Amino acid sequence: MNKKQLIVYAFIAAVCMVACKNTDKPAEENKTVEVPVEKEKTTAEQLSALNDSANVKWAAMAKLDSQKFADIKRLLEEISYCKKYDENAVQKLLKLNTEVHAMAYTQGNLSDSLIDLYDARTTDLINKVRNLKSKTEEISQHPLADQLENEILAADEALLRYRNNYDQAAGAYNSFLEQNKEAIAADPALVTYQKRKLFSIVL
């Protein structure tokens, strides 16, 4: 066998070795990957998650409402920056703004009568502030006043949607409590969970 033949045989052998290695890969790549089965949540975990969801919705609603009163205060301050304005009216409305905001319901005292009273007083406050703004000279030179007024009205309108969002979350929580009341009653760690009052149907 001459040198040229030896080179050819060596090349063929090398090709065969590479081919053999490549045939091993698919078997490795085709291994079945085990997907871990998600563990079913316990009653306590589900109840906690539903409770947290309702709390988040309530916090978002309360934040929106508080921002509305902060904007009312800021609008009254903007009115006071004008050269001519009704100082007495501004002071009265600033006081009223604080009083109405302090009337805000909580998750514990929610009732139809309080909701109606709070909404009526809030609407009256907003109308009085808007009326004062419209009567204040040079307010047109304060573009922030229009922006604040629009944000106040938008927040007041959006409040109903935020209340509905809370009611949906709280309603799901209440339903879970009802459907699992025996298991919950049997667990001392869960008996502190109580039904929530809703805006749509005050329990």
Pair 199, 115: CB distance under 8 Å: yes
Average pLDDT, the chain: 87
Residues 73-113 pLDDT 10s: 999 999 999 999 999 999 999 999 999 999 999 999 999 99
Taking the C-alpha atoms of residue 85 and residue 139, their distance in angstroms, rounded to an integer, is 9
Number of Cβ within a 10 Å radius of residue 91: 12
**Would you say the pTM of this structure is higher than 0.85?**
no
